[in-house]
Structure 1
Amino acid sequence: MSFQLHLDESDLLRCRFALSPLGETQAAVRVLDRPDMHGYHLPWLRLIREAAAGLDLRPLWLLMPRSGHSPDFFSPPPSGPMPSFEEEIAGVRALDPELARQDLALTLANRPEVLHSPAGRAMLADPARTLQDLADLLELAWRALIAPHWPRLRALLEADIAYHSRRLAAVGFERLLGELSPQLSWSASTLTIVGVQGRHSRVLGGQGLVLIPSVFCWPDAVSGFEPPWQPAIVYPARGIGGLWTRSADRTPQALARLLGRGRAEILYALDEPAGTSALAERLGFALSSVSEHLSVLRAAGLLTSRRYGHQVLYERTPLGIALAAPDAPGA
C-alpha cells in the first residue's frame, strides 16, 4: 500500500520545512493510547504520568484509529515556518464547522462502532460544538504533556530542519527524501510513501509541499492531508535516541577532565545543533553558565554558531566532533 503525491515544477519551488507544536501535541496523544509501541518515549511517559492521569483523552482517541483517516483539522499543515501553539489552535477554532463535519465523517466512516454510537452521532449532529470541545482538549493536552518540554523538543526539531536544509542544498530533493525516511522515494515527478494503509493519490497542482519533522510520529512517515489543506509529510526527526537522556550520564570522564565538567557536558550534548535555552533546560544549568561555556568553546574552535529563526544554534566543529567522539583517545 502507498500514497503518491504528484509534483510539477511549481510544486518543487514551493516545498518548505515547518514546525508544528499542535502536530506534536496530537501525535503525543496517540503515543499515550499505545505506549507499548514507542519505547524511545518511555522517559517522557514517566515524566508526564501524573499530568496525563488528569486528562480524559477518550474523545480524541475515538478519532485516532490505528489505521485509516484521522481528522486533518487536529493538526493542519502550518502556514508559516515556526507557528506558536496559540496560533495553530486559533486556526482550528476558526475552522468552518461544515468542513469539520466532513472531516469527522470521513474518519468515522472507518469506525462504524463509533459512528453509530451516541458519541459519534453527537459529534456529527453539532460539529461546531465538537470542534470547540476537541480544540479545548488539545489545548489541555498541550499544556500538560508538551509545553513543559517544548524547549527541548523545539531545539531538536529546529536542528533537524537546519541539518536537512543543508542536505537539500548538498544532495538535492530526490536524495533528501530517502534520508528523511526509508518510506519515501522519488521517481518521475512522483513522491511515494510506502508502508501506509490504503492507496491514495493526489496531484499537488502548484500548492507545494510542507515537510514537518516530528518526535512523536517516530518511526513512521505520515501524509494523507486532503483538500483544502496544503499537502504535507510528517517525518521522524533525527536524534530522538538521546532526547530524554542527560548528557552528564554519557559524557566521557577524560573529556570532563580536559575541559571541565560543565563545558564537557555542553560539548557532548551537541549531538545536534542547539541553542542556549535548550541546552540550559536539557542540562539543568543556568542560562548565564551555558552562555559563558559556549563562548569559551567557540573561542577554542570547538563550536561554531549561526542564526536560525529566533535563536542562535551552536554545533561542533570538526575538532569538537573529534574530541566528543565516544571512541576518542581516553574517552
Structure 2
Amino acid sequence: MRFAVSPMWEVGTSFRLLHSGSAHPVHRPWAEQVRPRLAAAGLDRGWLAELIPPSGYVPDFLNPAPAGSAPTLAEELAWILAAPAGQVRQDLDRLRHEQGFLGPRSRTLYAEPQARLVRVTEEIESYWELALAPYWARIRAVLDADVFHRARQVAEHGTAHLFNDLHPSLSWDDNALRLTRRQQTLTRKAAGAGLLLIPSAFTGPGLLTRVTLPEPPQLAYPARGVGSLWESRPITRTDAIAAVLGRSRTRLLTELETPASTTELAHRTGLSPAAVSQNLTALRNAGLVSAHRAGRSVLYARTSIAESVLAAACP
C-alpha cells in the first residue's frame, strides 16, 4: 500500500465539477474564475466534455496508476498515450453502455485510439494551464499535508486506524477492507496487487475507485484541509520582504492571492503595465512566480517558494 499525488485525478474530478455547472460551496471562488476561461477556449465542449460526463463512469485510461509518489502531468500524459488500443476501446464500450451513446469525438477515438489520444492529451494540457497550473502550488500543499498526516497515522497507530479514519464509507475489520455503497463487490482476485491511496481536492464528499488488472486498485478520497483551500490569507507584515524584494515586487506577490494577468495587476496596483511586466519577469526568474498561457493573455501565479516566503514573514 502506498500514497500518490496524481495530477490526472485532479484534472478529471475538477473538470467534472466545472462541467456539472453546480455552485460548489467550497470551490465556488475557483470555479467562478475558471469557467469563463474554459468557455472562451472552447474546452467546455471538447474531448473532455465527452469523456468525463457530469456523473458516472470515467474511462480508466485517463487515470493510469502512478508509478511514483508524485508523477508530473507530463509523465501521466505519456502513460495515457501508451494505453493499448484494446483498453481504450474497452473503456469506451463501458462508457457507451452507461451513457447510452458516445459523442462524435469519442467515436473517432474508438476508431483510431493511438492517433486521437494525441488530441486528447493536448486538450488536457490546455485545460491544466487554464484551470489547475496557476493554483497548483496551493492545491499541492493541501495534498502533501494530507499524505504527511496519513503516513504519521500509520506510523503511530497502524494501518487499521488509517482506514477507519480515512472516510465514513471505508472500514477495516477482520483483515478485510470494506467500502459501503459501492455498486460492485471488489475482491482481491479481481484487482491487481497492492493498493494506491490518492488524496484529491475535487472528489467531493465520496470515494472514487479505479480497478484495472494488472494494476493495483486506486482509491481517491477527499483530502484533509480542502474546506480552507480557497480562503483568503491576508498578508499584513510585508516590510521585511519589501526590504529584500522592493515594495513593487512585494505588492505584486501579495496581489497574486489569485492568479492574474499583467493588465489586471496594473489596474489593482496602480503600476504601469510595463513596470508590472518588468517586475514579474524578475520574480519569475527568481522562482517566485509562474506564468500560464490563457488564450491571448498570460496568468501569473505565486509558486510554492513564494508561499513559503510570505508565510515565514507573516506567520
**TM-score (norm: length of structure 1):** 0.68
| Contact 2:37-2:130 within 8 A present in 1 as well | yes
- 1:71–1:107 contact (8 Å) kept in structure 2: yes
From the superposition, tell whether residues 262 and 227 of structure 1 become closer, same or farther in structure 2 (CA, over 3 Å): farther
Letter in 2 for 1:71: P
Q: Please state whether the residue corresponding to 1:191 is helix, strand or coil.
A: strand
The equivalent position to 1:71 in structure 2, one of 38, 45, 59, is 59
Matched-pair contact (CA < 8 Å) for 1:157–1:237 = yes
Return the offset for 1:187: 2.4
Q: Which runs of structure 2 are paired with 1:236-251 in the superposition (5 Å)?
A: 236-248=222-234
Q: 1:203 and 1:37, CA in 2 relative to 1: closer, same or farther beyond 3 A?
A: farther
Correspondence for 1:81? 69
Q: Which moved more, 1:98-107 or 1:204-213?
A: 204-213
Name 2:96's counterpart in structure 1.
108
Tell me the alpha carbon deviations over residues 148-189 of structure 1, each in whole angstroms, 9 at most, x when there is no partner: 111111111000000111011122212211221111112233
Counterparts in 2 of 1:37 and 1:217: CA distance versus 1, 3 Å: farther
Work out the CA distance in 2 between the residues paired with 1:79 and 1:262.
44
Opposite residue 77 of structure 1, the aligned amino acid is A
SS of corresponding position for 1:62: helix
State the SS of the aligned residue for 1:43. helix
User: How far is 1:73 from its partner?
Assistant: 1.3
User: Do the aligned partners of residues 210 and 285 (structure 1) sit closer, same or farther apart at CA in structure 2, a change above 3 Å counting?
Assistant: closer
**Structure 2 residue 152 is the aligned partner of structure 1 residue 147:** no
The structure-2 alpha-carbon separation of the partners of 1:289 and 1:107, relative to structure 1 and needing over 3 Å to count, comes to closer
Q: Which among 42, 49, 68 is matched to residue 55 of structure 1?
A: 42
Structure 1: distance between partners of 2:288 and 2:2: 26
Does residue 166 (structure 1) correspond to residue 156 (structure 2)? The answer is no
- Tell me the residue number matched to 2:10: 24
SS in 2 for 1:47: helix
Shift of 1:222: 0.7
What corresponds to 1:135 in structure 2?
Answer: 121
Distance 1:45 1:126 in 2: 33
Identify which of 111, 128, 140 aligns with 1:125: 111
In structure 1, distance between residues paired with 2:181 and 2:239: 44
Deviations 1:247-269 (A, max 9, x none): 229xxxxxx8xxx6889xxxxxx
Structure 2: gaps of 5 or more residues: 241-286, 290-300
For this pair of structures, how many residues does the alignment match?
Answer: 255
- Residue in structure 2 matching 1:223, options 209, 215, 224: 209
Asked if the contact 2:167/2:221 (under 8 Å) is kept, the reply is: yes
1:246–1:283: 8 Å Cα contact kept in structure 2? Answer: no
Amino acid at match of 2:184: R
Of the three residues 171, 174, 177, the one matched with 2:163 is: 177
Question: Following TM superposition, by how much is the alpha carbon of 1:209 offset from its aligned partner in structure 2, in angstroms?
Answer: 0.5
* Aligned mate of 1:95, from 64, 69, 83: 83
Give distance in 1, aligned partners of 2:309 and 2:234. Answer: 19
Moved over 3 A (4+): 65-68, 117-121, 260-263, 280-291
Q: How much does 1:277 deviate? A: 7.1
Identical positions, percent: 32
Q: Please state how far the C-alpha of 1:244 moved relative to its aligned partner.
A: 0.6
The offset of 1:85, in angstroms, is 0.8
- After the TM superposition, which residues 3-18 of structure 1 pair with which residues of structure 2 at under 5 Å, given as runs? 15-18=1-4
- 2:114 is paired with a residue whose SS is helix
Q: Distance in 2 between matches of 1:36 and 1:159?
A: 27
Q: Contact 2:209 / 2:218 at 8 angstroms: preserved in 1?
A: yes
For the 8 Å contact 2:92–2:110, the answer to whether it is kept is yes
Post-superposition offset of 1:50: 3.1
Q: Is the 8 A contact 1:22 1:142 kept in 2?
A: no
User: Match of 1:109, as an amino acid?
Assistant: H
SS at 1:90's partner residue? Answer: helix
